[in-house]
């Protein structure tokens, strides 16, 4: 049991949720406002993707990140900024019978340094590192993160003084995270995000969650979340398993049956669930101390 937990809000993601709910932020202004809204509702960390403001499609454009981060930092709201570094690892095959050439319009595969341009420029306190390759829901899409690419990214993140949040979708990803830590590429305390229920990674049942938790080394810090209708039940499940909490419109657009949520709604509901369990909700300052976060100079 974790009696003092922090809440991360993943405010937009890179999927098609913006076509299903008008509450999903798309423009840099909307995304920054969502981060501020989540922080005021009780989130200590805002996990940020950016989108093309015209189409809503996922984007890696550093200019969009620059605007979001500037607006959040210029606000009077304290929140830890966590930028995704997951964009740029997407392979989409041509078809089952003709996998090559790749689907060039959908494939977004770039080198380690290009995936970190916005991180090295903006120096958030945290950025993500997707610690593995997996079939990711769609028929011909592979989320691609080779050990060599991850080592190169981990070195650059470490040199920038940014804390990597290791995104773990299955047990093999946790094994790779341990390897990076053993090689000195991730500094203590290691921060893990257990991503449950995402096809075709680890299922979100209790046995799968505990198999993951039981393989996390002592002294590492972790959060856990699930997608869709299991997002809010996982608030309780995560802290019961000793971890921290993630909610947000990246993973779930509903507050209840037929009721679309805002990011603030989801954070507020998570904070209420924690408080009714007598779990303390940590502030950004408390999380910075816990994770030994440092803003590089």
Residue 33 and residue 12: Cα distance in Å, rounded?
11
- Given a contact cutoff of 8 angstroms between Cβ atoms, the answer to whether 293 and 65 are in contact is no
Domains and CATH numbers, the chain: 4-291 (3.20.20.70)
Give the angle subtended at the CA of 34 by the CAs of 31 and 38, to the nearest 5°.
145
Secondary structure of residue 225 in the 3-state scheme:
strand
Residue 247 and residue 268: Cα distance in Å, rounded?
10
Mean pLDDT over 110-116 rounds to 97
Asked whether the predicted pLDDT for residue 280 surpasses 70, the reply is yes
Residue with token string 């922080």: 39
Distances (CA, A) of 246 to 71, 81, 128: 22, 14, 14
Question: What sign does the CA torsion over 32, 59, 135, 253 have?
Answer: positive
Mean pLDDT over 128-136 rounds to 95
Mean pLDDT over 64-93 rounds to 96
Residue 284 and residue 25: Cα distance in Å, rounded?
23
Band of pLDDT at residue 157, cut at 50, 70 and 90 = very high
DSSP state of 162: P
pLDDT tens per residue across span 89-112: 999 999 999 999 999 999 999 999
- The reported pLDDT for the residue numbered 20 is 93
Residue 146 and residue 169: Cα distance in Å, rounded?
14
- Give the number of other Cβ atoms within 10 Å of residue 105's Cβ: 7
DSSP state of 197: S
- The reported pLDDT for the residue numbered 297 is 47
pLDDT tens per residue across span 219-275: 999 999 999 999 999 999 999 999 999 999 999 999 999 999 999 999 999 999 999
- The reported pLDDT for the residue numbered 295 is 65
- Given a contact cutoff of 8 angstroms between Cβ atoms, the answer to whether 233 and 30 are in contact is no
- Give the number of other Cβ atoms within 10 Å of residue 9's Cβ: 30
Structure token pair of residue 154? 């981990």
Average pLDDT, the chain: 96
- Given a contact cutoff of 8 angstroms between Cβ atoms, the answer to whether 28 and 53 are in contact is yes
Asked whether the predicted pLDDT for residue 296 surpasses 80, the reply is no
How are beta strands 259-260 and 254-256 bridged, if at all?
Answer: antiparallel
């Amino acid at each position: 049991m974790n009696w003092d937990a922090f809440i991360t809000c993943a405010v937009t993601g890179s999927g098609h949720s913006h076509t299903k709910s008008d509450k999903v932020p798309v423009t840099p202004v909307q995304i920054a406002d969502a981060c501020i809204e989540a922080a005021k509702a009780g989130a200590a960390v805002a996990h940020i993707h950016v989108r093309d403001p015209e189409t809503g499609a996922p984007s890696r454009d550093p200019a969009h990140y620059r605007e979001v981060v500037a607006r959040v930092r210029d606000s009077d709201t304290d929140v830890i900024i966590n930028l995704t570094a997951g964009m740029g690892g997407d392979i989409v095959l041509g078809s089952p019978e003709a996998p090559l050439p790749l689907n060039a319009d959908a494939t977004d595969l770039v080198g380690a340094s290009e995936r970190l341009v916005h991180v090295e420029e903006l120096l958030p306190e945290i950025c993500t590192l997707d610690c593995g390759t997996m079939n990711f829901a769609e028929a011909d899409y592979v989320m691609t993160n080779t050990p060599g690419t991850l080592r190169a990214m981990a070195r650059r993140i470490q040199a920038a003084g940014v804390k990597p949040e290791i995104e773990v979708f299955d047990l093999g990803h946790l094994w790779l995270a341990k390897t990076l830590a053993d090689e000195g590429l991730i500094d203590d305390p290691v921060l893990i995000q257990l991503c449950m229920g995402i096809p075709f990674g680890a299922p979100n049942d209790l046995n799968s969650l505990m198999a993951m938790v039981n393989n996390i080394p002592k002294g590492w810090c972790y959060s856990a979340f699930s997608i869709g209708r299991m997002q809010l039940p996982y608030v309780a499940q995560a802290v019961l398993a000793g971890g921290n909490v993630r909610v947000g419109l990246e993973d779930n657009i509903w507050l209840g049956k037929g009721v679309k949520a805002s990011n603030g709604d989801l954070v507020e509901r998570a904070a209420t669930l924690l408080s009714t369990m007598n779990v303390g909700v940590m502030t950004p300052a408390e999380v910075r101390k816990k994770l030994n976060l440092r803003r590089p100079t």
